[in-house]
Chains A and B, each alone.
Chain A
Amino acid sequence: MGQFDFSIRTPVKGVRGLGSAKSGTGHFWQQRLTAVALVPLVLAFIAIVICASGRDYEAARALVGHPLTSIILLLFVVTGAIHGRLGLQVVIEDYVHHEGCKVAAVIANTLFTAAVAIAAIFAVLKISFGV
């Protein structure tokens, strides 16, 4: 029968009843929250880098090791790492369509940003504590 050769079913039947992905607007909200925090942090970071440029080793250590500078740098690195992780995750989800590759890339994204943040935190604390 000709009239049964097509279907008006849509892919929505495949997800109906399965519920949401259980994260809601969490990703969006964290992205914007870190973005708001990064506005003053980026400006402070640029000021620190300009102050540090041209300084010798001891003077650069004194600047980075100052409590105020250290705290600003730590806030910038941690907030930036979270913001970058969220941002790159969206890029991965947009362009990597193979499910296995996508999961691997999202995991690698988290591990990479965590490693970058920990290395920077370690360095700043080491300088600041004078070890």
Chain B
Amino acid sequence: MAEAKAPTTPRAVARPLSPHLQIYKLTWTMAMSVIHRATGVALYAGTLLLVYWLVSLAAGPDAFATAQAVFGSAIGRFVLFGYTWALLHHLAGGLRHFVWDLGYGYDLKTRMGMARATLIVSGILTVVLWAIGLSVG
């Protein structure tokens, strides 16, 4: 009995770990999953743009003119274009998740189709909405 060693702590036991992302071949669903998270984080930061626009409008004509100049510049428009795409892509990705939440679309064909559709629909919608926005504005 005295010879029996105390069991090692669980942390000291080297158990096999599941392989990480870079082990797998990149697939459409994996890429769209990563992009969904990335666009979510981008939108989190991008909310500051909306706040800046609203606060400048509340502050007065001078502050609003500055904000309009910032958003109207080449860099400003590029960022807003990216924000639009991120918003629409995250929206499309969210709809895809609703389908899965309801218990549908788990077969290979459907999930690949939905992953591709997310990118195609968000891309087309971004261009269409900017065309409308530029023709109106």
Contact = CB atoms under 8 A, between A and B. Distances in A.
Contacts of B7: 4, 7, 9
Contacts of B51: 116, 119-120, 123
Contacts of B5: 1, 4-5
A126 interface: yes
B133 interface: yes
Given A120-B51, A126-B58, A57 B64 contact: yes
Nearest to A127: B58
Contacts of A60: 57, 64
- The secondary-structure label for the interface of chain B is helix
A77 B129 contact: no
Given A7-B8, A61-B57, A80-B47, A42 B65 contact: no
A126 B97 CA distance: 37
Interface of B: 3-5, 7-11, 13, 37, 40-41, 43-44, 47-48, 50-51, 54-55, 57-58, 61, 64-65, 84, 87, 91, 94-95, 97-98, 101, 129, 132-133, 136-137
B101 A32 contact: yes
- The secondary-structure label for the interface of chain A is helix
Interface of A: 1, 4-7, 9-11, 13-14, 32, 35-36, 38-39, 42, 46, 49-51, 53-55, 57, 60-61, 64, 73, 77, 80-81, 84, 87-88, 91, 113, 116, 119-120, 122-124, 126-127
B50 A50 contact: no
B95 to A, nearest CB: 7
A120 B51 CA distance: 5
Given A50-B133, A51-B136, A91 B41 contact: yes
A57 B8 contact: no
